[in-house]
Amino acid sequence: MSQSLPKTYKAIEVQSKGGDFKIVDKDLKLPAKNEVLVKVQACGICHSDSLSKDGIYPIKYPIVPGHEVVGKIVAVGDDAKEWKVGDRVGTGWEGGHCNACIPCRKGAFVSCDNGTINGVFKAGGYAEYCIIRKESVVRVPEELDAAEVAPLLCAGVTVFNSMRNTPAHAGDVVAIQGIGGLGHLAIQYARAMGFYTVALSTSDDKKELAVKLGANEFIGTKDVKKQVEGLQKLGGAKIILATAPHADSIGPMTDGLGLDGTLLVVAAAGPVTVNTNTMIAKRVALRAWASGSAIDSEETIKFAQHSGIKCHVERFKMNDVEKGYEKMMTNKARFRSVLVFE
Ligand SMILES: [Zn+2]
Ligand SMILES: [Zn+2]
């Protein structure tokens, strides 16, 4: 089943490791039996797109990046009839899973041993059309703005789903380290989840912004020791969510945790050094987390909708993809760069 479709469409490709973005014409293919074809309305530009662009993962070039996709279904495969032409949908990091490996059998689809990743190992959403495997399709409410929803499918679900899977309860001190693309969402989610929300920043001039986003307290200093002291004055944090990929400032944060606190890392910062001596005293845990499955993304979007959480975005047309990517990579986007297609 499909509606009238063009023969070709435009996509943004990276053609070799570290290569520039190129806009190319591609032949439009109908979805295979377990897939749907989506006309893309918006696709977020995420820091993890550098894994494709710079070949940090073993990429088969050319690749169309993009794993924060929102659009409308225009064709469905024979075995994907749970979805219909016209459905408003999206997809995130998890691009498909096997349903057979141990992580899948435990429901942790994003950790599937045989899974694929949108925009990394299969073509993603930097394009007018995108094929999505049926099990990674996320339902997106019709009334929401595509560009504002797109980053929730990766940045949003990463912060919301990681925090809700910790032992933190309403009223506990939860600190958000970094006020960038992930951090500005994390502050809003943490506050709406009932946590006593502390924003940690390296610069004092983000205070007004942090409070506006919902922070109960703000600690703005380059001195990590002072950030730690600030948290200890509050009795220590139950969770510190590290959203910025700076290994040097993540490790020392274990000292800012209270009893049974968790340093929750969602930023891919490489090797991090922690002090096990002080961690033992407070039974502190170090935990890492990757986004979530399609249903986690749906719940992330619903929670944002019901709680008035909003992703602040800068919109870019296909021709301006370099500009949007550069702003994201240099942390100058306020707060997420998003490609828009209509
Ligand atoms: Zn991402
Ligand atoms: Zn699996």
Smallest-distance ligand from the CA of 92: 1
121 and 57 in a common domain:
yes
What pLDDT does residue 3 have? 58
In a domain, 236, yes or no: yes
Map tokens 């408003």 to a residue. Answer: 88
Distance 117 CA to ligand 2 centre (A): 12
Distance 124 CA to ligand 2 centre (A): 20
Mark which of 255, 272, 288 sits at the end of a domain.
Answer: 288
In a domain, 166, yes or no: yes
In a domain, 85, yes or no: yes
φ, ψ (nearest 5 deg) of residue 250: -80, -50
Roughly what angle, to the nearest 10 degrees, separates helices 294-307 and 181-192? Answer: 70
Per-residue pLDDT of the chain (342 residues; tens, 9 = 90+): 455 899 999 999 999 999 999 999 999 999 999 999 999 999 999 999 999 999 999 999 999 999 999 999 999 999 999 999 999 999 999 999 999 999 999 999 999 999 999 999 999 999 999 999 999 999 999 999 999 999 999 999 999 999 999 999 999 999 999 999 999 999 999 999 999 999 999 989 999 999 999 999 999 999 999 999 999 999 999 999 999 888 999 999 999 999 999 999 998 889 999 999 999 999 999 999 999 999 999 999 999 999 999 999 999 999 999 999 999 999 888 899 999 997
335 and 215 in a common domain:
no
In a domain, 3, yes or no: no
In a domain, 24, yes or no: yes
Distance in angstroms (rounded) separating the CA atoms of residues 188 and 171? 15
> What distances in angstroms separate CA 262 from CA 101, 162, 219, 241, one per listed residue?
28, 11, 19, 8
Distance 111 CA to ligand 2 centre (A): 7
328 and 249 in a common domain:
no
* CATH number of the domain enclosing 234: 3.40.50.720
Distance 114 CA to ligand 2 centre (A): 5
Cβ neighbourhood burial of 60 (10 Å; 0-12, 13-18, 19+): exposed
Distance in angstroms (rounded) separating the CA atoms of residues 284 and 269? 20
317 and 199 in a common domain:
no
Sign of CA dihedral 88, 323, 51, 106: negative
101 and 148 in a common domain:
yes
Mark which of 250, 272, 288 sits at the end of a domain.
Answer: 288
Query: Amino acid identity of 259?
Result: L
Distance 112 CA to ligand 2 centre (A): 4
Distance in angstroms (rounded) separating the CA atoms of residues 315 and 149? 12
What pLDDT does residue 154 have? 97
Distance 292 CA to ligand 2 centre (A): 14
Residue 187 and residue 213 in contact, taking contact as beta carbons nearer than 8 Å:
yes
148 and 12 in a common domain:
yes
Smallest-distance ligand from the CA of 157: 1
Distance 301 CA to ligand 2 centre (A): 24
Beta bridge partners of 116: 96
φ, ψ (nearest 5 deg) of residue 36: -125, 155
Residue 78 and residue 36 in contact, taking contact as beta carbons nearer than 8 Å:
no
253 and 144 in a common domain:
no
Residue 80 and residue 98 in contact, taking contact as beta carbons nearer than 8 Å:
no
Smallest-distance ligand from the CA of 101: 2
Cα pseudo-dihedral 183, 186, 191, 195, rounded to 10: -100
334 and 214 in a common domain:
no
**What are 47's two structure tokens?**
């820091």
Distance 152 CA to ligand 1 centre (A): 9
Smallest-distance ligand from the CA of 125: 1
What pLDDT does residue 331 have? 87
Read out DSSP for 194-220? T-EEEEEESSGGGHHHHHHHT-SEEEE
What pLDDT does residue 215 have? 98
- Domain range for residue 100? 8-154+292-340
> What distances in angstroms separate CA 136 from CA 76, 246, 264, one per listed residue?
14, 30, 25
Instruction: Count CA within 13 A, CB hemisphere, residue 298.
Output: 13
155: Cβ contacts below 8 Å, ≥ 6 apart: 44, 46, 68, 181, 182, 185, 311, 336
In a domain, 113, yes or no: yes
Distance 213 CA to ligand 1 centre (A): 21
What pLDDT does residue 321 have? 98
Smallest-distance ligand from the CA of 109: 2
Smallest-distance ligand from the CA of 107: 2
231 and 213 in a common domain:
yes
Distance 133 CA to ligand 2 centre (A): 14
Smallest-distance ligand from the CA of 151: 1
In a domain, 22, yes or no: yes
* CATH number of the domain enclosing 131: 3.90.180.10
Smallest-distance ligand from the CA of 98: 2
Distance 113 CA to ligand 2 centre (A): 5
35 and 112 in a common domain:
yes
Distance in angstroms (rounded) separating the CA atoms of residues 55 and 299? 32
142 and 43 in a common domain:
yes
Residue 265 and residue 250 in contact, taking contact as beta carbons nearer than 8 Å:
yes
Number of domains present in the structure of the chain: 2
List, in sequence order, every beta strand (DSSP E) within the chain: 8-14, 21-27, 35-45, 69-76, 88-91, 94-96, 116-117, 129-133, 138-139, 173-177, 196-201, 217-220, 237-242, 257-265, 285-288, 313-316, 336-340
Distance 233 CA to ligand 1 centre (A): 34
80 and 124 in a common domain:
yes
In a domain, 2, yes or no: no
Distance 85 CA to ligand 1 centre (A): 26
Mark which of 267, 288, 309 sits at the end of a domain.
Answer: 288
**H or E element: which one contains 308?**
none
